[in-house]
Chains A and B, each alone.
Chain A
Amino acid sequence: MPEGTGALREVLPKQGTGGEHCPTRPGSVRPGARSRPFSPFAGQLSVEDTATMVLCKPKILPLKSVSLEKLEKLQRAALEAAQPPEAAPPPSAGAAAPRQ
């Protein structure tokens, strides 16, 4: 991924107008036309270095360790076990409630 840099806004003349600015194809012979070495800046009228907005970067997701997964599983089980109120309310309701 290329680092973000300011975009160069080039203003180039339209193709078809200004015939003598067309790049000469290598090897072609056009009677009467001078062969000019093609330069990318030959047709530019102005160059503007404007700042463009940057996107945040794609995120590689970190993998979870075995311990972390087990921990998550335990936490989830605890949450689910604490939830049903029909059964006798768990004695630790006070401790489990602040979780929410």
Chain B
Amino acid sequence: IQAAWNLKTRALTEMVYVDEIDMDQEGIAEMILDENAIAQVARPGTSLKLPGTSQGGGPSPAVRPVTQSGRPITGFVRPSTQSGRPSTMEQAIRTPRTALTARPLTSASGGYVRLGTASMLTNPDGPFINLSRLNLTKYAQKPKLAKALFEYIFHHENDIKNALDLAALATEHAQFKDWWWKVQIGKCYYRLGLYREAEKQFKSALKQQDMVDTILYLAKVYMRLDQPVTALNLFKQGLDRFPGEVTLICGIARIYEEMNNISSAAEYYKDVLKQDNTHVEAIACIGSNHFYSDQPEIALRFYRRLLQMGVYNCQLFNNLGLCCFYAQQYDMTLSSFERALFLAENEEETADVWYNLGHVAVGIGDLNLAYQCFKLTLVNNNDYAEAYNNLAVLEMRKGHTEQARALLQTASSLAPHMYEPHFNVAVLSEKVGDLQRSYTAAQKSEEAFPGHVDTQQLIKQLKEHFAML
């Protein structure tokens, strides 16, 4: 009967199992009330909170869309992909955090509670294992049962405290010689936000038994503590002991990407591909880098490789359509976009595809079609700042200045980190003669993207004008 129980426990866990290494939803509470920072201001290049200058090279915001924190959008998104730490509470609330809805997670435990309740809902007769009546000490002494039970509590019920108790008892029982339990305790501490304790546990587990997983967990802890350089060193040391290990190289590449060092990230992703040329994440990231470096044909090759591997979703077809268009393979463009629209699972994806179709329409010169595409984007996603901006440009071409201004107002308030709406407001105001507004808008544009030549020229022109007055 024990075997049956064991099997059922593990089956239930497997239903909701998401690899802890990837799970990393950081809530707003964790972000804003972070007590783990060591220094007040981090030195440039050592912190994840400050993207720093784009020292890694790569395309500028003039060519590549940026996210809220000023980082260019990546080719791959995981549960732990950060859109950067927001500086104000308001920005934090605005940042979409959950996978499905655009509403932010208030606290990381919130997301897990929902997953935990999901498990309760799937079992109409009540929970399979009643935790409150469980005698943890008894189970702690039976290592095989204890391990299955721990995973069940941790993943299915999401009851970290009980899981931690069980793990602590089990470790004691094993006389602190079992590395697996140390790793599990470390995971519990990580979930509870006790990062330094988690670090100790993982380090001790590593000393006992060198495992790639432990290295990955420890690196996660360092990333949470905002110490990317430590994490990088850890990975590099890990590579000495596990040469060619794809997950470690991928980890290094991800960290470089988070630090906005695109060229190093690209190098490491290429290393990943040398070891494993079916690695979806690496292919996607390199593909997007090539696209934004003005090499759509090479990007096309990478995305076709993904297609070969059986990846079949809306995003891939959208990217294929874009690459085909810019690589001048017009026969494939529209059918790829059609497929993308068909595969879109929710309105936000549909909005993205319509937005890119709008770009294609602008490219072929059919401005009516472009207008309709951007409007469709807004129908599907009312907060699409880029679509508002592009609609405004089209309205200006038709001469509807006031409408353009209203649209730009919406765009700039929805996405203050983008320089395009601010720059367009500046140009618009200058045309109608409202130089003061033009100047303030140009300043905001410069703040968002200091390297923009046109903004600088505009500001210079305006300054000369003001000096003359």
**Chain A interface (Cβ within 8 Å of chain B)?**
1, 3-6, 49, 51-65, 67-68, 70-72, 74-79, 81-82, 90-92, 95-96, 98-99
Contacts and interface: CB of A to CB of B under 8 A. Distances in A.
A62 to B, nearest CB: 4
Contacts, number: 162
B79 interface: yes
B439 to A, nearest CB: 13
B118 A77 contact: yes
A1 B294 contact: yes
B309 to A, nearest CB: 11
Contacts of B62: 3-4
A53 B427 contact: yes
13 contacts: A1-B63, A56-B385, A60-B287, A60-B292, A62-B288, A75-B99, A75-B115, A75-B118, A81-B118, A81-B121, A95-B114, A95-B117, A98-B110
Contacts of A60: 73, 75, 287-288, 291-292, 318-319, 322
Q: Which applies to chain B's interface (DSSP): helix, strand, loop or mixed?
A: helix
A55 B99 contact: no
Interface in B377-414: 385-386, 389-390, 392-393, 396
B192 interface: no
Nearest to B360: A58
Contacts of B355: 58-59
A90 B121 contact: yes
B280 interface: yes
B300 to A, nearest CB: 12
A96 B76 contact: no
B139 interface: no
A78 B115 CA distance: 7
A65 B114 contact: no
Contacts of B284: 62-63
A67 B23 contact: yes
A43 to B, nearest CB: 26
Interface in B272-286: 280-281, 284
The 7 closest A-B pairs by CB, nearest first: A78-B118, A56-B386, A92-B117, A61-B315, A67-B22, A81-B121, A62-B77
Contact of B19 (A5, A67, A78): A67
Nearest to A75: B100
B131 interface: no
Contacts of A92: 117, 120-121
A58 B356 contact: yes
B163 interface: no
Q: In the complex, which range does the number of interface residues on chain B fall in?
A: 35 or more
Contact of B77 (A1, A68, A81): A68
A56 B418 contact: yes
A79 B99 CA distance: 13
A90 B74 contact: no
B117 A64 contact: no
Given A64-B77, A68-B77, 12 more contacts: A1-B63, A3-B60, A55-B362, A56-B65, A63-B280, A63-B313, A65-B281, A72-B100, A75-B114, A78-B115, A90-B121, A92-B121
A3 B63 contact: yes
Nearest to B430: A51
Contacts of A54: 393, 420, 423-424, 454
B352 interface: yes
A63 B466 CA distance: 48
A67 B78 contact: yes
Contact of B100 (A58, A70, A76, A81): A76
A53 B77 CA distance: 31
Contact of A61 (B22, B120, B280, B319): B319
B453 A62 contact: no
Interface centre among A62, A68, A78 (most CB of B within 10 A): A62
A30 to B, nearest CB: 37
B7 interface: no
Contact of B18 (A56, A71, A95): A71
A63 B311 contact: yes
Nearest to B314: A61
Interface centre among B63, B64, B121 (most CB of A within 10 A): B121
B238 to A, nearest CB: 21
A60 B352 CA distance: 9
A71 B97 CA distance: 13
B74 A62 contact: yes
